[in-house]
Amino acid sequence: MRTQLAGALPDALRKLNPASMWRNPVMLIVEIGAVLTTALAIAEPSFFAWAIVGWLWLTVIFANLAEAVAEGRGKAQAATLRAAKQDTMARKVSGEVVPATELKQGDSVVVEAGEIIPGDGDVVEGIATVDESAITGESAPVIRESGGDRSAVTGGTRVLSDRIVVRITQEPGESFVDRMIALVEGANRQKTPNEIALNILLAALTIIFLVATATMQPLAIFSKSVNPGVPDSIALTADGVTGIVLISLIVCLIPTTIGALLSAIGIAGMDRLVQRNVLAMSGRAVEAAGDVTTLLLDKTGTITLGNRQAGAFVPVAGVPVMELARAAQLSSLADETPEGRSIVVHAKTAYGLREREPGELDKATWVPFTAQTRMSGVDLDGREVRKGAATAVMKWVRDHGGHPTAEVGEIVDGISASGGTPLVVAEKGRVLGVIHLKDVVKEGMRERFDEMRRMGIRTVMITGDNPLTAKAIAEEAGVDDFLAEATPEDKLALIRKEQEGGRLVAMTGDGTNDAPALAQSDVGVAMNTGTSAAKEAGNMVDLDSNPTKLIEIVEIGKQLLITRGALTTFSIANDIAKYFAIIPAMFAAVYPGLDALNIMRLAGPQSAILSAVVFNALVIVALIPLALRGVRYRPASASKLLSRNLRVYGLGGIVVPFVGIKIIDLLISGIV
């Protein structure tokens, strides 16, 4: 942390420019006060005056330092991204070679093995492996191909094999990398609605204290004219010390602590997302994540592992299980899907069936799976074996003169009800049994959903499975509700229904069919592997394409809101202690009754005022690490979080200044 502070110091000094300071009205007032006290100290120099001047300037610098450190944390990542965004030449389909910076939306370019993709776009022809490590940090190459949901490519990534044609989808300067660089450097960070509202509140408090302080000197002069015997206090003398003391009072009573840290808190929240490889298009999205009350999650790959595994072979009456196992294995030998390979492995491990030798299958005719037939299999030595969806396989059996019994439907329904996926296995004219594919729920998901529930968040699982399977998986995972056999229209309708009830909704998606729902949701997280339409529709992009990260995003958003609230509570609370330090020191001579408020028994008026100013500056530096790291988040209801904040940061904000100011007073009382 010490290195970060030292490295950010030059930027903090540059931010002293009033053109930068005006965005933070609280700290602008402090800077104006520092300028005025400097002029007063030059006119009537004293140790007290110059000490106040020094610490007021340090207060402004420390405030700028907090923001500079937060921005500086993104500079290393921005440098890495700039290295990925090299000066690339692009070869258009027409054969013309142009700089990548001249490509426009709609241009089509050819990219071959070893070349850099010149801009963001969609693959419209070909298939290739692409190295995206410069963007995502993931070293394993990924497949990008035309059509489907894995056609989007990012400028600055490298094609490792084959040849693709890419249609550019972004104008110059608006690419994914350009937006990431602007984000991590804070150049495009817009204040969120809550942040703007808090800034307005802080500005209002500042104005109130300015007016209140400005009336003190005229009222004191009037009091002395009415009662000339009243002794002068430190605040009511005619020399330059009066102006310095009044400025010190303003600085100590306005909410300088949260004013100094507010911007850093917002930048740090965005930075925590970037560190997790999530690009937020706006700070509003991060803040909305903290207020989310409904979470829509895809089942496959998010709640479950995604690769269903064969768990059991269930034969129908009269069929030996070994016969079913042999048929299931035979029909799956050419099936390269994870499910197909798991069937072969299960037959081998559970029933001792070896894989066939290559020569044994020379005369086999393999029947591939298609979306139309919804089954696959093999024809070998006069046998016809098929496996697939229950309705499709039973229709095939009927077409070949067979008569499936009601027992098959009962087995299929039982497997579906348990959360599994049934695959019916049949040989020409008769059903042999059913393969039970288990959709495995990821470890720890129930605990995570319990945490969401404690946070007041309702979780909804979205799946294309039938209602029986969806219900079983939902119960095992511990989600609150589910939407089965979901279509894009169903997702959109569900989001709108939730929002009509006053809830904020978050969801993930990667396909073009997810785009309407992503655009409608308050927090739409698009997968980087998804289509350009999905990434444009969402307000966040997950570079790792990990759907479970949505839960982390919500936690980061809540941590941002809690941190802002905690430090605001602390800032306003510690003004109370500074009030007890300064007010008695300023007016006790005029109004002896105020001496009862001097409960800290500080050494003297000047020592009390200087101690408060010093503490006011040092507490900003002390809180910078907390503002950047964020207040530790614990899943709990809003009322529990509020009561905890009041206990820890409200009470702490009152006690800590009393202790700190007293210690500083003991250290400087012999000097002032």
Dist. CA 73–CA 68, nearest whole Å: 9
87 is in an annotated binding site: no
* 8 Å CB contact between 569 and 649: yes
Catalytic residues: 298
* 8 Å CB contact between 507 and 515: no
373 is in an annotated binding site: yes
Cα separation values, 371 from 316, 374, 376, 499, Å: 26, 5, 10, 35
300 is in an annotated binding site: no
* 8 Å CB contact between 433 and 314: yes
Cα separation values, 106 from 121, 122, 125, 167, Å: 9, 10, 14, 6
* Beta-carbon contacts of residue 482 (< 8 Å; ≥ 6 apart): 460, 461, 462, 463, 470, 471, 473, 474
387 is in an annotated binding site: yes
What letter represents residue 407's amino acid? E
192 is in an annotated binding site: no
What letter represents residue 226's amino acid? V
Radius of gyration of the chain (CA): 34
User: Alpha helix locations (H) across 91-215?
Assistant: 133-136, 176-184, 193-214
463 is in an annotated binding site: no
Cα separation values, 350 from 15, 322, 347, Å: 70, 10, 6
* Token duo for residue 666: 């003991």
DSSP lists the bridge partners of residue 367 as: 377
* 8 Å CB contact between 154 and 117: yes
Of 558, 642, 641, 553, the C-alpha closest to 290 is 558
370 is in an annotated binding site: yes
Stated length of the chain: 672
Longest pairwise C-alpha distance within the chain? 122
DSSP string covering 211-277? HHHHTHHHHHHHHHHH-TTSPP-TTS-SSHHHHHHHHHHHHHHS-HHHHHHHHHHHHHHHHHHHHTT
CB atoms within 10 A of CB 67: 29
481 is in an annotated binding site: no
Dist. CA 467–CA 473, nearest whole Å: 10
510 is in an annotated binding site: yes
Annotated binding-site ranges for ATP: 335, 339, 369-376, 387
- Please enumerate, by residue number, every residue annotated as part of a binding site for Mg(2+): 510, 514
Q: Which residues are annotated as a binding site?
A: 335, 339, 369-376, 387, 510, 514
